[in-house]
Homo-oligomer: A and B are copies of this chain.
């Protein structure tokens, strides 16, 4: 479950140059190819590395507007709301949370005007009592994992 320094270097290297291949990796890291292969297999079966899916940029797809919506749900309607939101393509992720809202979801839209349509579709469902939306202006720190990987690897160091 915990990763060591070599695992960390493998992940970071892979994150920086995804097309790199096991052989080139082993060269860069100064270890045998079999080692890298074994580590990678382990990391994947551990679930540390979920996969290598393509990272698609919604903006490049024509959805440059991102927003976060906090939803309040009528008691007992959670499951229905989840199912409803799962059918909306513009809902990129959904979390249930503690705090003032009950759910938090990430939305994208083609424009600010289009965002209205998306929100209408999201909240146009019986179980949702109230929604409050925050539009993303800038994204100073895009979703990243490398610093955390490095820290996890450090923590593991003896």
Contacts and interface: CB of A to CB of B under 8 A. Distances in A.
Contact of A53 (B55, B95, B136): B55
Q: Of residues A59, A92, A134, which shows the largest number of chain B Cβ atoms within 10 Å of its Cβ?
A: A134
Contacts of A100: 132, 134
Size bin of chain A's contact surface = 35 or more
Nearest to A63: B148
> Interface of chain A, helix or strand or loop or mixed?
mixed
A152 B50 contact: no
A63 B93 CA distance: 19
Number of copies: 2
Contacts of A155: 62
Interface in A4-63: 11, 14-15, 18-19, 46-63
A99 to B, nearest CB: 4
Contacts of A11: 54, 56
